[in-house]
Structure 1
Amino acid sequence: MNDIVKTLLIFTTAIFAIILLLTDQPNSRHTMAQATPTPPVTEDDEPIRIETELVNILLTAQDSNRRFITNLSKEDIKVFEDGEEQEIFTFSRQTDLPLSIAIIVDTSFSQFSVIDEEKEVAKTFIESVVRPNKDEVAVISFSGEIMLEQELTSNLIRLRRAIDSLKISRPSPMVTFPTTPPISSGSSRLSGSTALWDAIWVASEEVLSRTPERIRRVIIVLTDGRDTSSRKNLNEAIEAALIHDITIYSIGIGDDFYGGVEKSGLNKLSNSTGGRSFFPRDELQLRQAFAEIETEIRSQYLIAYQPKNQKRDGSFRRIQIKLVNPQLAKQNIRLIYREGYFAKGNKTDKK
């Protein structure tokens, strides 16, 4: 009897041990499969986001005979911002960037004797430059009023039609404006004054500023350089172009009877934005000016750097590019680029 009881106790104990083992194993596997709990994210653990801005500069290099230098390398130059050397992030030749060009034509009465030549040469230029579905051109005319003759398009038929439609504004009493003249799509024309700087400002702020970032923005202005009625001044026109990375090419042309060409403002306009100014005396020289502009906008270098000064204070930063290759320095190479840029502003910055 005792043997039977002992046997039953042993058997019962064994069964109980097996049951415990079977019920414990799933729990063990479940525990092993669990990932280590992720500690809660505290404010100090949040990722740090740093906003950086690259500054892009288009550089043209010419020798003493105005031939384009196309073999520069990153090591040949140094870039300075407000006197401090910057690390170059990108240096490459840019021959294939899409173009957005605003052709601005002075239609005040002082252009009466040259307007037909300007129209013919401008049409030849766009037919040579514009690549369908890649490049765009807008046509703007101005006297006392700014007219958008054709918005940005690559349609050559529309562009030719817009240029052909340009007409000289007849003289009338001086007209003044309480504010910057807006682009007008109407047919009325106010004449007797010339709002050159307003036209540059409007082309920059209302036409070219709306194009994508990776676009080469260019203004070509044909005028005698005289401004009589703008509400914006020359410096404000330059600032608008610099803010939107626009290069301005000035073609100073006019009738000597009306005082010829005022060169100083056009030179400053172009030099400040990395362009050039031309002062043709006949149709042949006018065609040469357009040909040089076409070659130049296809023969430039793109330089990009991250400025060491990361303040978002809206201040003007002056750019300087120096040749450091001794052999190239001996060749009297001219470097053409914009004089600087305006940093982005931030209302939260402390000054």
Structure 2
Amino acid sequence: MRLLNKAFLLAAAGWLTGTVGFGQEEGIATFRTDVRRVVLNTTVVDSRGHLVTNLPQSAFRVFENGVEQKILQFRREDIPVSMALVVDNSGSMRDKRQRVESAALNLVKASNPQDEVMIVNFNDEAYEDVTFTSDLKKMEEGLTRIDARGGTAMRDAISMTIDRVREAAKKDKKVMLVVTDGNDNMSSISLERLLQKAHESGILIYCIGLLSQEDKREAKRAKRALDALATASGGAAYYPNDLNEVEKLAQQVAHEIRNQYVIVYSPTNQALDGTFRQVKVNVTGPNRPVARTRSGYYATPEPAKRQQVSQASSR
């Protein structure tokens, strides 16, 4: 598990590298009180699964509930990130723990001073061992607290982390990286409610699932949950066959996060009626590219804090 954490941390550190440009324009990533906007962090891959990073705005079309939307802003930038590192330290992860710690530690060490990281360890309960910080020493101390024991409340841990990211994150772009065996046997929140929270949050959720090779039924159930979270949020889920693959996957996630398109549109339907709005991004180009972004959002008012930030940035 110590090696796995190391690879995990290296990847997190990698995607935490960002430029100042986007962060200086706070209004682009917040809802304004006069005109509501939706921000889509979008990944494009070709038919071979390779990232496509050089497409023009004209290659993209955005649809909300089947109605095409006008793209107001478009760019591809490596921007500062608020990242939550969520690590399973339940008893079922005991034999994987050394690799996980090693991956996580390397990821933290590679973090950029402009970015911030929080660390959540969980078993049958979730523990916010490190709140958002750029202090490497605090991150390392938080990771060393990982102790594989107890049951697994994965959904509850992700739910708590979503709440904390929404409350405390300072960067416009928010990412969660979850490392777990997915063997959830203690959570109280349902998958359906958790998916709703993921849609509402706008957080990109990436998962590395170290699924059981023995209990096929449990592995299938865990995969369904992780896939659903990744699809809802616009992230991705990966399932290494070997612990040695974890570091490579973490680096892959880091690279993807640094090479996404930012698409902003103002919905033709401005009503804040609480309904779910399905979002789809179509893209054209060589080698049959496919766009991946969050599958939708709930049309509800933004919290007062975020509205105030947006108003201040527009003055």
Give the TM-score normalised by structure 2.
Answer: 0.80
What are the residue-to-residue correspondences of 1:50-199 with 2, within 5 Å? 51-95=34-78, 97-128=79-110, 130-132=111-113, 134-169=114-149, 191=150, 193-199=151-157
State the distance in 1 between where 2:145 and 2:152 align: 19
1:275 aligns to 2:231 (yes or no): no
What are the residue-to-residue correspondences of 1:1-351 with 2, within 5 Å? 51-95=34-78, 97-128=79-110, 130-132=111-113, 134-169=114-149, 191=150, 193-212=151-170, 214-256=171-213, 261=219, 262-323=222-283, 325=284, 328=285, 331-345=287-301
Q: Confirm or deny: 8 A CA contact 1:201 1:236 kept in the other structure.
A: no
| Structure 1 residues 242 and 94: CA distance shift in structure 2, 3 A | farther
Q: Confirm or deny: 8 A CA contact 2:209 2:223 kept in the other structure.
A: yes
State the distance in 2 between where 1:247 and 1:50 align: 24
Q: Between Structure 1 and Structure 2, whose CA radius of gyration is higher? A: 1
CA-to-aligned-CA distance 1:148-202 (integer Å, 9 cap, x gap): 1111111111111211220011xxxxxxxxxxxxxxxxxxxxx3x3211111111
Alpha-carbon RMSD: 1.9
Q: Confirm or deny: 8 A CA contact 2:43 2:51 kept in the other structure.
A: yes
**SS of residue matched to 2:95:** coil
- Deviation at residue 64 of structure 1 after TM alignment: 2.3
| Higher relative contact order structure (alpha carbons within 8 Å, sequence separation ≥ 6) | 2
* Aligned equivalent of 1:34: none
The alignment covers a number of residue pairs equal to 268
Deviates more, 1:308-317 or 1:230-239: 230-239
- Deviation at residue 254 of structure 1 after TM alignment: 4.4
State the distance in 2 between where 1:251 and 1:217 align: 17
- Provide the identity percentage: 29
State the distance in 1 between where 2:51 and 2:174 align: 20
CA-to-aligned-CA distance 1:291-332 (integer Å, 9 cap, x gap): 011101100000000000011111110001112x4xx1x512
CA-to-aligned-CA distance 1:241-267 (integer Å, 9 cap, x gap): 222210000100145456674211111
Q: Is there any run of 5+ residues in structure 1 with no aligned partner, and where?
A: 1-48, 170-190, 347-351
Q: Confirm or deny: 8 A CA contact 1:108 1:194 kept in the other structure.
A: yes
- Deviation at residue 345 of structure 1 after TM alignment: 4.4
| Structure 1 residues 147 and 50: CA distance shift in structure 2, 3 A | closer
Q: Confirm or deny: 8 A CA contact 1:74 1:91 kept in the other structure.
A: yes
Residue 156 of structure 1 aligns with an amino acid whose one-letter code is L
**SS of residue matched to 1:236:** helix
State the distance in 1 between where 2:208 and 2:231 align: 13
Which 4+ residue blocks in structure 1 deviate beyond 3 angstroms? 254-261
